[in-house]
């Protein structure tokens, strides 16, 4: 960021793909761009533009209208319909000054249109504008992505957060009911976690939470949903999983946590977890809240009967 709070944009080193059926035109444009420290890729064939755009992800494409294979307009249209390339700006650099071609090029997704012969300063000015706009749009997309992730993920563990877990479970319950599928969830709580914070400090507790999150993340299937429910509690949603399968997974997780040496900055400690299991067969569950409450009751039973164990809801 600069002093005004705007993102600091560095254009040097940006990658530009130049496509023209005339090698002399490519050489001219490339020389101008290289003199300003841009990286240049080039091709004389329309089909190759798509290939290079997907492979190298250039920051800008300068392209002629007429090329062997696909013409420039067809390439622009294909670029805009491909998720991998739809955000790459396109400037047509062509000898055609016809208004019809300019309008059609802009309708097909071109960001700008330069006619040959062009002035060096004009080319660079238009290239700079296109690259600056792309950099700002990329930054905005990344910021939106991070905001969306923060809305559904726990910042410390990078697991899903409670709101997302409850939303997903509220979606899984109707699905289980409709297709009469089993559905289970596990509620985990780290034993004597407050003692860790009090003895070693909160940074140590955070380190333990992150390592437990890694254990959970690597213990489940891709269809399962893992999240931090709050504090030192975690919830795992297990679609199409009955009581026995849920209990087997819970015991495997309990053993992994018990055997783990938790690194808390220069020393290692042990930690255990208590796990409550709740399962519904054939979609027989009133609602998401009921399943969570059952898992929580089972967790409480595991706690009061000695900790470091798995307990199932009756």
The first and second tokens of residue 219, run together, are 């213990």
Active site residue 232: yes
Prior bond of 117 cis (ω within 30°): yes
Q: How far apart are CA 292 and CA 286, in angstroms?
A: 11
Q: What angle do CA 218, 220, 226 make, to 5 degrees?
A: 90
Query: Bridge partners of 61?
Result: 17, 90
Q: Report the run of H or E that residue 164 belongs to, with start and end.
A: helix 162-179
Q: Which of 212, 277, 283, 287 is nearest to 245 (CA)?
A: 277
What phi, psi does 165 have (nearest 5°)? -60, -45
Catalytic residue among 48, 172, 232, 260: 232
3-state DSSP helix/strand/coil % of the chain, to nearest 5 = 50, 20, 30
Query: Bridge partners of 225?
Result: 237
Q: How far apart are CA 223 and CA 158, in angstroms?
A: 17
For residue 87, count CB atoms less than 10 angstroms from its CB and return exposed for 0-12, middle for 13-18, buried for 19 or more. middle
- Decide: 214 and 253 in contact? Cβ < 8 Å: no
- Decide: 159 and 217 in contact? Cβ < 8 Å: yes
Q: By three-state DSSP, how is residue 239 classified?
A: strand
The catalytic site residues sit at 232
């Amino acid at each position: 960021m600069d002093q005004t709070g705007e993102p600091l944009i560095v254009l040097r080193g940006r990658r530009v793909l130049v496509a023209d059926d005339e090698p002399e035109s490519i050489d001219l444009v490339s020389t101008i761009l290289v003199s300003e420290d841009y990286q240049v890729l080039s091709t004389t064939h329309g089909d190759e533009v798509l290939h290079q755009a997907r492979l190298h992800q250039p920051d800008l494409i300068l392209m002629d209208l007429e090329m062997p294979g696909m013409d420039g307009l067809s390439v622009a249209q294909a670029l805009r319909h491909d998720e991998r390339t739809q955000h790459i700006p396109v400037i047509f650099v062509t000898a055609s000054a016809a208004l019809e071609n300019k309008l059609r090029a802009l309708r097909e997704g071109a960001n700008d249109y330069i006619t040959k012969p062009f002035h060096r300063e004009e080319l660079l000015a238009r290239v700079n504008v296109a690259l600056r706009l792309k950099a700002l749009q990329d930054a905005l997309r990344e910021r939106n992505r991070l905001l969306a992730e923060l809305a559904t993920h726990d910042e410390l563990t990078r697991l899903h957060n409670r709101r997302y877990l409850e939303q997903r479970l509220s979606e899984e319950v109707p699905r289980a009911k409709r297709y009469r599928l089993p559905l289970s969830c596990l509620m985990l709580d780290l034993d004597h976690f407050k003692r860790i914070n009090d003895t070693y400090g909160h940074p140590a507790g955070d380190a333990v939470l992150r390592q437990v999150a890694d254990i959970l993340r690597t213990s489940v299937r891709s269809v399962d949903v893992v999240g931090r429910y709050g504090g030192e509690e975690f919830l795992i949603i297990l679609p199409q999983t009955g009581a026995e399968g849920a209990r087997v997974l819970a015991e495997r997780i309990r053993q992994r946590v018990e055997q783990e040496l938790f690194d808390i900055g220069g020393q290692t400690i042990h930690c255990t977890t208590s796990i409550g299991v709740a399962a519904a067969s054939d979609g027989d569950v009133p609602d998401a809240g009921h399943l969570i409450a059952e898992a929580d009751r089972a967790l409480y039973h595991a706690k009061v009967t000695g900790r470091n164990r798995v307990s199932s809801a009756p």
